[in-house]
């Protein structure tokens, strides 16, 4: 039996993570935050002091990653890195290592293996185009740059971190440009993806839309 998968792709801070997690909870499905894997590869690379444009070195780091996801926390080599991977610095570094084809290859199986019964909601940049092209429901979620910067600022503040809105907007735009323009698995909607602009929608409205689409797609 193939495991049903819903993919949600889109630019940084478009709300994918929140929506994917809530939709997964509502359906009793597993949830894959694929961006966390790229963030883990970036954090480990930064800490190893390697040059982020050194493809083979970054790939070796990604291949050796053994993250543990438990009770909504993420552990790396026995250390809780849940907060450490969420900084903008690590986000920007993640988009640098994510442009390296070998890093993407190294993380591919970890992502495919997340498709376990009874189902999976996966969010990222290439879930619908590369990792789960067979998914019966693919969503490409966007929101205006201003709305995304504000959402990311609130997320950081909720974690007790400082948020500089101007710097955030700049970082998001830089990251999105790199994600869209890279040759390996660029950020773009799958041909059969449903487009959803969430700028003027509440979280509840977006979750309902996803669940309604799922009723029709399954």
Tokens 């190893």 belong to 48
β-strands 5-9, 120-124: how paired? parallel
**Per CB under 6 A, 39 contacts ligand C5P:** yes
**Interface map 165-184 toward ligand C5P (x if CB under 6 A):** ----------x---x-----
Closest approach, Cβ 171 to ligand C5P, in A, equals 10
Can you tell me whether residue 131 is helix, strand or coil? helix
List the one residue from 7, 14, 34, 198 that touches ligand C5P (CB under 6 A): 34
Chain-centroid distance, C-alpha 178: 15
List the one residue from 7, 14, 95, 129 that touches ligand C5P (CB under 6 A): 95
Closest approach, Cβ 215 to ligand C5P, in A, equals 26
Residue 91 known to bind ligand: no
β-strands 73-76, 30-33: how paired? unpaired
- The three-point CA angle 202-151-99 to 5° equals 115
List, edge to edge, every strand of the sheet that includes 194-197. Answer: 30-33, 120-124, 5-9, 137-142, 194-197
- From the list 20-28, 30-38, 65-73, 199-207, the region that binds ligand C5P by CB under 6 A is 30-38
**Per CB under 6 A, 151 contacts ligand C5P:** no
Closest approach, Cβ 193 to ligand C5P, in A, equals 14
Peptide bond just before 118 cis, omega within 30 deg = yes
Residues at the binding site for ATP are 10-18
Return residues touching ligand C5P (CB under 6 A).
12, 34-35, 38-39, 91, 94-95, 98, 124-127, 175, 179
């Amino acid at each position: 039996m193939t495991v049903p998968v819903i993919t949600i792709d889109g630019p940084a801070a478009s709300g994918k993570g929140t929506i994917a997690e809530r939709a997964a909870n509502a359906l009793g499905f597993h949830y894959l935050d694929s961006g966390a894997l790229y963030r883990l590869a970036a954090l480990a690379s930064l800490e190893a002091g390697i040059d982020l444009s050194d493809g083979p070195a970054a790939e070796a780091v990604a291949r050796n990653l053994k993250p543990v996801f438990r009770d909504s926390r993420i552990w790396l080599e026995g250390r809780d890195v849940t907060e450490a991977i969420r900084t903008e610095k690590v986000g920007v570094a993640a988009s640098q290592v994510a442009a390296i084809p070998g890093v993407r290859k190294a993380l591919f199986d970890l992502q495919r293996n997340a498709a376990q019964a009874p189902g999976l909601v996966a969010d990222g940049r290439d879930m619908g185009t590369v990792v789960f092209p067979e998914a019966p429901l693919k969503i490409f979620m966007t929101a205006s740059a201003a709305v995304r910067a504000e959402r990311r600022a609130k997320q950081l503040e909720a974690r007790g971190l400082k948020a500089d809105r101007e710097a955030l907007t700049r970082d998001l735009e830089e990251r999105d440009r790199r994600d869209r323009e890279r040759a390996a698995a660029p950020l773009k909607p799958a041909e059969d993806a449903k487009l959803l602009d969430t700028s003027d929608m509440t979280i509840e409205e977006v979750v309902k839309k996803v669940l309604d689409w799922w009723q029709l797609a399954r």
